[in-house]
Amino acid sequence: MELFLHIWTNLEYFKLLNKWFLLSTWKTDREIASFFMKNFSWEIKDDISPQYETNFMAIRELKKRYWNDVFKKIWWIYYWSDNCEYLLAHKSELEQATKLFKEFNEKYPPHKIRTFTFVTPYVWNKMLKNLEASLEYLNNLKIKNPIEVVINDLWVLNLIKKKFTNLKPVYGRQTHKLLKTPLIDTYWLDAHPAGDLIKNKSSQEIEEVRNKIKEGQKKFYASSEASLPIMQNFLQKNNIDRVALDYMQDRENLYNNERYGELWLDVYYPWALVMSWRLCDTSAIENPVRWNYATDEICPRTCFRYDIFYKIKTSWYKLIQRWNAGFRSELNLDYLPKSFDKHQKNRLIFAPFVTV
């Protein structure tokens, strides 16, 4: 298993990387906290935000499970957003990113030849033209290792197959369906059998029925379409050998490589994607008439200034809306099986939200 870092939508992150702020060999939690306070002070201006708290605790979990100097182990960079098409990286931004990445690659150990993975969202016609220009730029780069592209739209996969054959597709978490709504953990921990199932049964028999239902629910929600032979065959035909999953607690079997044949796994941590849609509620914060309307050709970029946090008293996780997508926090890495770590080509994608 290798540790990768997902940088979202801001070139400033590369500057932090290249100044060794984020990838230093810190030993204490206090030094990590100082980094966030210095570089992302707005996260704790009035109160500690759920985002800050989750990211801080995730770093602690990574150090506990893997390495104390965890940031010295980052091998690769995932770059850009997999949700909103209006946050798509244009060619000019990619040119800057590749320049900064080259600088990072030369400065940061273990001094191996790297490439970065370009993350793309699902797109409509207008933004597809911008994406084509970006893919063409990456496709024409003269580098040893092929650049990977995380595809979250099957039309983008079609583009890569037909026009940009130097790029290697990765099956993203938008296209790879995984059941992960906020209500699931409530449902599978309890069950309410239909009346016909418990009619004339003793309390012990009713409890057995409930337990059987709960076992079935847990097995169902720990499933993935990439574990189906028909999907594995589809991915193989399209030269895809890697699929993305969100890290979800209490679903150990979901990350068992034996279920995926020849596929390798990318697991995103510590935020699991709950939903994503074209309706951007974030854009309605400053203009309420836009509520429940799809983002039009003029995006106000409200998400550059706001996050939406949901207070759910009955849940143990944080629920956040970032851009046009909803995420929930998942921290406890004990549910990631040790067998996942043993596979050399598996990747744990550390994807903190800091800011756009």
Rg of the chain over Cα atoms, rounded to whole angstroms, equals 21
Buried b (16+ CB within 10 A) or exposed e, 90-103: eeebbeebbebbee
Backbone φ, ψ for residue 182 (5° rounding):
-60, -20
- Residue 301, Ramachandran bin (φ over 0: left; ψ between -120 and 50: alpha; else beta): left
Q: How far is CA 143 from CA 18, 120, 121, 195, in A?
A: 21, 20, 24, 64
Rounded to whole angstroms, how far apart are CA atoms 66 and 54?
A: 18
Q: Which helix (H) or strand (E) holds 138?
A: helix 125-139
Cα–Cα distances (Å) from 335 to 60, 61, 143, 259, in that order, read 16, 12, 38, 17
CA angle 289, 294, 295 (to 5 degrees): 90
pLDDT value, residue 314 = 62
Beta strands in the chain (DSSP E): 2-7, 74-79, 116-119, 148-151, 168-171, 242-246, 264-269, 271-276, 308-310, 319-322, 325-329, 347-350
Output phi, psi for 139, to 5 deg: -65, -30
Separation in Å, CA 54 to CA 25, 218, 223, 267, 317: 21, 25, 26, 17, 9
CA distance 330 to 323: 19
Q: Residue ranges of the chain with pLDDT lower than 50?
A: 23-24, 26, 356
CATH fit for domain 2-178+224-276+325-350, picks 2.160.20, 3.20.20, 1.20.58, 3.40.50: 3.20.20
CA-to-CA distance for 218 and 291, rounded, in angstroms?
35
Position 152 scores a pLDDT of 93
pLDDT at 17: 66
Two tokens, residue 218: 């847990």
| Sequence letter at residue 290 | R
- The pLDDT score that the predictor gives to residue 235 is 95
Nearest-angstrom CA–CA distance, 91 and 274? 29
Cα gap 13→86, rounded to integer Å? 19
CA atoms of 302 and 300, how far apart (whole Å): 5
Quote the pLDDT of residue 171.
95
Helix (H) or strand (E) holding 99: helix 91-107
